[in-house]
Structure 1
Amino acid sequence: MASVRRFTCGPMLRFTILPRRIYYRMDKTYGTFCGKHCNLQICPACLSRQNNKHSPLNFQPINSAPLSTLSVTTSFSTSKQIQCRRRISTNHMKEAFTLQNSYKLIEEEFSTLTEDIKKLTSSDKLELQNIAHYHLDGHGKSIRPMTVMLMAKTCNYHHTYDDSSILHPQRVIAMISEMIHTASLIHDDVIDMSDIRRGKPTVKALWGERKAILAGNFILSQASSALANLQNEYVVTVISGVIEDLVKGEFMQLGSKEDENERFNHYLKKTFKKTASLIANSCKAVAILGNCCEDVIDIAYNYGRNIGLTFQLIDDILDFVSCDKIMGKPTTADLKLGLATAPVLFAAQEYPELHPMIMRRFSQIGDVRRARDLVAKSDGVTQARILAEQHAKEAVRMIQQLKTSSSQQALIHLVKFILDRKK
């Protein structure tokens, strides 16, 4: 009898069929089994859907199973190629893994996160402290620290089967990720000359450019100090690379490639450095601090990388399809700044007249309006959405390679939340 050590009701079922490992994926052809049948567990919500006569599962409840689960037996013929294109339903998870419930999984560690960051960025210069705390008002979604904490729990469970706690150094990484993000927002608003952020005046608009730059630098210095106090050289190197990427990404944004074929690669590299690097390397850092193996560290990094790219692609789409009131900042801002994002680059494949506009950074009168109209007429937004979905699927594929836990499922749900977000 071949044994199955883990089972998830999600889109991918991971089996361990000794002496080989076989991965089951949604809408894919199943591999060949050497054993005759396998024991696994399934949740009551899935069990209630057993009315499908074509299901390859033969359900047999076992009295000794925990109340929350039921055991089933699945029979297969020896060396038989089994094809199953039945989509595995995850509708029952929608209630269980809302974003709010994801926060609840890390409530103990998350509840005082903002206050702890404020303590790290306190100063005897009251004005500097007020500027540093300005965006720490609790009105943001805090996607980055939440992702990092959920990844820490997922990695800890995968490594030790203990899903109950986040190590103190891992929580510090979550704080550092939010501090770096906050500093980058303050600096970005200076570079982009923005007056509105999250529906309220920017630091630059209230205190001026010089004080905004100094306050951003102050937050970064405090984040660097907290990082150094971890006394982990590997982690210091990883997180230090994030700040390097932010600067390089900003420089990449200042230019544009003349070669049309290189523009998209330039855009994706810039997007990684400016947005995805922070999430990817923060996830990598907590995996390192959890003493995970290199394979798990790579999984954590690639999940963060893909969810970060998804986040920015959706942000670029919303710049065209949302409105100022919903977004809390001006829309079509990228075009006004001379930036060609994914919807524009895809639209340029249909409307070549966009190419000279991209090169002159939409600087002539009427360029912004014309570019916006061409994007609306094209499949640019649709193609950008497809690309975002591809990165989202890759993020899910990555995290599903780790052992099933509530935090792992929350990370899967988080991908859907980012894909569906409206602001």
Structure 2
Amino acid sequence: MTSTTSLFSPVEADLRLLTENLKNLVGARHPILYAAAEHLFGARGKQVRPAIVLLLSKATLLDREITPRHRRLAEITEMIHTASLVHDDVVDESEVRRGIATVHSLFGNRVAVLAGDFLFAQSSWYLANLDNLEVVKLLSKVIMDLAEGEIRQGMNRFDTELSIEAYLEKSYYKTASLIANSSKAVGILSEVEPEIVEDLYEYGRHIGLAFQIVDDILDFTSSSESLGKPAASDLKSGNLTAPALYALAEKPALGVAIEREFAQEGDLEQAIALIHDSTGIQQARKLATHHAKLAVGHLESLAASPARQTLIKLADYVVSRLY
């Protein structure tokens, strides 16, 4: 299976530069923040979001160099994403993410909340300094969407009536909005035609949804070691994702266990077994593949280039993580 390291080789040097810039932008003025920045922006993440921004920049600028504004957009995108993870880990009381201790487990809740706040504030400052009102509006809306997604998830815990449409809407707010709107922002900064700007948005939206659905499937099919967090942690906390929602239509006993919030001994284990015994995971795979294909369709308006080809391969990579 292709790794993101080899997949993103066209922007490998750009991503290395981005990581160093982020450490300096965030932590220059305070030792604790610098320590948190070192931890956050080390080699722990796949950097999918800034990689998409950089690849779309190359694909829209073609023979021109990536501009400082495009690079800053990639940095802002990773800052917003990382800030949301720091806050999510506090809310979820997660001790590890991707196999590494979370900021709040290392530095305490107070520092984690402040570090997340600081990252959101920094991203807003650098966003304003791009001097493009349309891009400012897009990325500011993303920060609102992230909060909206978390609130919806919290309000819908253990809700067996949740529809796939509501799940996808929440997934858009929590994951796809950032990828979609930062992709659209690339088109605006590259001054491409409005139709292409919308295609970039749709590519980011569908890739983001596919990515989230795949992550939700892996929560049931991967080990805790490969996930870097406890397996089936979403289900345990009452966050019903695509595999569980599809399985609910086939397995009435699953709904019973969820509605009593796994209060009886063996409820959670039985629920996981019922999901595996249903077609829930297969249906979720089809949904992820559907969105990955839709994403690729929206790249047809871009001229052929190595960067465009990598963006097509990224859609294949997202789904290939399941096999």
- 2:188 equivalent in structure 1: 288
Within 5 A, what are the aligned runs for 1:178-217? Answer: 178-217=78-117
1:166 alignment partner, SS class = coil
Query: How many residues align structurally?
Result: 323
Deviation (angstroms), 1:111: 2.7
Deviation (angstroms), 1:128: 2.5
- 2:173 equivalent in structure 1: 273
- 2:53 equivalent in structure 1: 148
* Equivalent pair of 1:309/1:391 in contact (CA under 8 Å): yes
Distance 1:399 1:210, change over 3 A: same
* Equivalent pair of 1:318/1:422 in contact (CA under 8 Å): yes
TM-score by length of 2: 0.94
In the alignment, is residue 234 of structure 1 matched against residue 234 of structure 2?
Answer: no
1:226 alignment partner, SS class = helix
Deviation (angstroms), 1:108: 4.2
Between the aligned partners of 2:150 and 2:281, the Cα distance in structure 1 is 24
* Equivalent pair of 2:296/2:315 in contact (CA under 8 Å): yes
In the alignment, is residue 168 of structure 1 matched against residue 68 of structure 2?
Answer: yes
TM-score by length of 1: 0.72
Residue number among 286, 296, 303 corresponding to 2:203 in the alignment: 303
Deviation (angstroms), 1:303: 0.4
Residue number among 110, 114, 121 corresponding to 2:26 in the alignment: 121
Deviation (angstroms), 1:261: 6.3
Deviation (angstroms), 1:109: 2.7
Within 5 A, what are the aligned runs for 1:70-85? Answer: none
The one-letter code sitting in structure 1 at the alignment partner of 2:274 is L
The one-letter code sitting in structure 2 at the alignment partner of 1:121 is V
Deviation (angstroms), 1:396: 0.8
The one-letter code sitting in structure 2 at the alignment partner of 1:188 is D
Between the aligned partners of 1:307 and 1:314, the Cα distance in structure 2 is 11
The one-letter code sitting in structure 1 at the alignment partner of 2:66 is I
Deviation (angstroms), 1:413: 0.4
* Equivalent pair of 1:155/1:296 in contact (CA under 8 Å): no
Unaligned runs of 5+ in 2: none
Of residues 217-226 and 351-360 in structure 1, the stretch that sits farther from structure 2 once superposed is 351-360
Between the aligned partners of 2:158 and 2:16, the Cα distance in structure 1 is 48
1:399 alignment partner, SS class = coil
- 1:263 equivalent in structure 2: 163
1:112 alignment partner, SS class = helix
- 1:136 equivalent in structure 2: 41
Distance 1:400 1:111, change over 3 A: same
Between the aligned partners of 2:79 and 2:261, the Cα distance in structure 1 is 31
Of residues 108-117 and 315-324 in structure 1, the stretch that sits farther from structure 2 once superposed is 108-117
1:111 alignment partner, SS class = helix
- 1:87 equivalent in structure 2: none
* Equivalent pair of 1:121/1:129 in contact (CA under 8 Å): yes
Distance 1:252 1:118, change over 3 A: same
In the alignment, is residue 106 of structure 1 matched against residue 11 of structure 2?
Answer: yes
Deviations 1:317-368 (A, max 9, x none): 0000100111111111101111111000000011123334444544554332
Between the aligned partners of 1:170 and 1:249, the Cα distance in structure 2 is 27
1:329 alignment partner, SS class = coil
Deviations 1:74-122 (A, max 9, x none): xxxxxxxxxxxxxxxxxxxx9xx97445433224433311011111102
Of residues 228-237 and 253-262 in structure 1, the stretch that sits farther from structure 2 once superposed is 253-262
Between the aligned partners of 1:255 and 1:409, the Cα distance in structure 2 is 40
Between the aligned partners of 1:370 and 1:173, the Cα distance in structure 2 is 45
Within 5 A, what are the aligned runs for 1:388-407? Answer: 388-407=288-307
1:331 alignment partner, SS class = coil
1:300 alignment partner, SS class = helix
Deviation (angstroms), 1:151: 1.0
Distance 1:402 1:198, change over 3 A: same
Deviation (angstroms), 1:262: 5.0
Residue number among 302, 320, 323 corresponding to 1:420 in the alignment: 320
Between the aligned partners of 1:147 and 1:362, the Cα distance in structure 2 is 39
Unaligned runs of 5+ in 1: 1-93
2:76 alignment partner, SS class = helix
Between the aligned partners of 1:304 and 1:225, the Cα distance in structure 2 is 24
* Equivalent pair of 1:153/1:166 in contact (CA under 8 Å): yes
| Alignment RMSD | 2.1
The one-letter code sitting in structure 1 at the alignment partner of 2:105 is A
1:217 alignment partner, SS class = helix
Between the aligned partners of 1:325 and 1:262, the Cα distance in structure 2 is 30
Between the aligned partners of 1:154 and 1:380, the Cα distance in structure 2 is 37
Deviation (angstroms), 1:193: 0.9
Residue number among 241, 247, 255 corresponding to 1:341 in the alignment: 241
